[in-house]
Amino acid sequence: MTTTVETAGSGTMSRLHDASVRGFASDNYSGVHPEVLAALAAANEGHQVSYGEDAYTARLQELMEEHFGPGIECFPVFNGTGANVLSLQSLLPRWGAVVCASTAHINMDENGAPERVGGIKLLQVHTPDGKLTPELIDREAWGWGDEHRAQPLAVSITQTTELGTCYTVDEVRAIAEHVHAKGMKLHMDGARLANAAAHLGVPLRAFTRDAGVDILSFGGTKNGLLFGEVVVALNPDAAQGLLFLRKMNMQLASKMRFMSAQFIALLEGDLWLRSAGHANAMAARLRAAVDDIDGVEPTQKTESNGVFAVLPAGVADTLRESFRFYDWNEATREVRWMCSFDTSEEDVDAFVAAIRDELARHGSSPARAH
């Protein structure tokens, strides 16, 4: 579907997609929140000093201190992979290794960037729900002083996890205390940090800085931004060289004001929480509906904006003809359905109806007996 859209000046642009098409594949599929677009337009007039010496990046630092406390350091970057690689590099010497869940984004979805670009060995631990515990960390936290083994000097946890589960404040604190007692440091991949705060009902710093996290990858793209994440050194003494590592890793934006302006729109009010809370609510609505459908087998708790489930053979591919979503584990027929800030109740209800219809065609009963 092509639509002609008026642009500033005399030109026009053709919309190349059908804006009515909805999907549940990723919170990256959504557009940019209108309040963020307005912030970008407001930041666009006139000239500002490049490479972060602008009024918007200074304001972002102030806002981050309001949320996380004084004494932190913020480094806007282009994307989540860059944020994670930068964060981990700053925590480690060249011989350092990172303990992470086998499902972690740094292990499964970054094309080896932490290892190939960052030069960091990842020590994976299997976990059924995506969450690490002190006991699971100890499966790989050993061998210090052994020259034949990469030294486990940091742990990376994801909040919320890749399986949609959420660490509690006490769980993060227990991990931090365990890690620090061993002389290790703690990184949090917070691509969906706002979704975790919305689920937990606590301030951002409660399960990050106050719980003992040393460095944070603060996500924006999955919560309505055009692009951008922020590396937040919550314990600057634990992170070395971020100013130089950002440039070396090609994550230094010349027109940084446009990154920072988006986060100002997100953090100056409650947009970050409104958007994440809405996405979580839509996932909860979807989960409640499929819990009553025979043939859909949820596999994880729904604690953020994702629903994981197993479908009968053949159902997922047919559903994808109308609603895009991804297989999570093709071998077990497990799929992932993600909601975003602009997912509507009508979107969810239409998708649920399609699931019911498709299962009925496959011979499954549309409702589970109670």
- At 194, which CATH number? 3.40.640.10
pLDDT digits (tens, 9 = 90+) for 226-244: 999 999 999 999 999 999 9
Joined together, the tokens standing for residue 74 give 């913020």
**Tell me, what's the pLDDT at 359?**
95
Of 289, 303, 344, 366, nearest to 164 by C-alpha is: 303
CA distance 282 to 71: 36
Domain end call among 244, 267, 290: 267
**Domain boundaries, position 131:** 34-267
CATH number at residue 318: 3.90.1150.10
CA distance 63 to 56: 10
**Pair 341, 254 in one domain:** no
Domain end call among 246, 267, 288: 267
**Tell me, what's the pLDDT at 369?**
43
**Pair 220, 314 in one domain:** no
**Pair 285, 299 in one domain:** yes
**Tell me, what's the pLDDT at 2?**
56
CA 330 → CA 80, 256, 333, distances in Å? 25, 40, 5
For residue 10, is pLDDT > 70?
no
**Pair 225, 197 in one domain:** yes
CA distance 71 to 232: 11
User: Residue 7: inside a domain, yes or no?
Assistant: yes
Which residues is 190 bridged to in the sheet?
218
* Average pLDDT along the chain: 95
**Pair 199, 343 in one domain:** no
Joined together, the tokens standing for residue 93 give 């010497």
User: Residue 179: inside a domain, yes or no?
Assistant: yes
For residue 83, is pLDDT > 80?
yes
Backbone angles phi, psi at 76, to 5 degrees: -60, 140
For range 257-268, the mean pLDDT: 98
For range 129-135, the mean pLDDT: 98
CA distance 249 to 251: 6
Neighbour count for residue 70 (Cβ, 10 Å): 6
User: Residue 55: inside a domain, yes or no?
Assistant: yes
Residue 11 burial by Cβ neighbours in a 10 Å radius (0-12, 13-18, 19+): exposed
**Pair 98, 219 in one domain:** yes
Residue 335, classed as helix, strand or coil, is strand
Question: What is the share, in percent, of the chain residues with pLDDT greater than 70?
Answer: 95
For residue 367, is pLDDT > 60?
no
**Pair 280, 258 in one domain:** no
For range 76-84, the mean pLDDT: 98
Q: How many domains are there within the chain?
A: 2
**Pair 164, 225 in one domain:** yes
**Pair 173, 199 in one domain:** yes
Helices 271-290, 257-267: inter-axial angle, 10-degree rounding: 70
Exposure b/e, 199-209, CB count within 10 A at least 16 = b: bbeeebbebbb
For residue 167, is pLDDT > 80?
yes
Joined together, the tokens standing for residue 59 give 């304001």
Residue 306, classed as helix, strand or coil, is strand
Domain end call among 220, 244, 267: 267
What is the C-alpha radius of gyration for the chain, rounded to an integer number of angstroms? 21
pLDDT digits (tens, 9 = 90+) for 181-230: 999 999 999 999 999 999 999 999 999 999 999 999 999 999 999 999 99
**Pair 254, 315 in one domain:** no
**Beta strand spans in 44-162 (E):** 73-77, 96-101, 121-125, 151-158
User: Residue 370: inside a domain, yes or no?
Assistant: no
Q: Are 120 and 98 in contact (CB under 8 A)?
A: yes
One-character DSSP codes across 145-189? T-TTS-EEEEEEEESS-TTS----HHHHHHHHHHHHHTT-EEEEE
User: Residue 368: inside a domain, yes or no?
Assistant: no
Look up tokens 């992170």; give the residue.
239
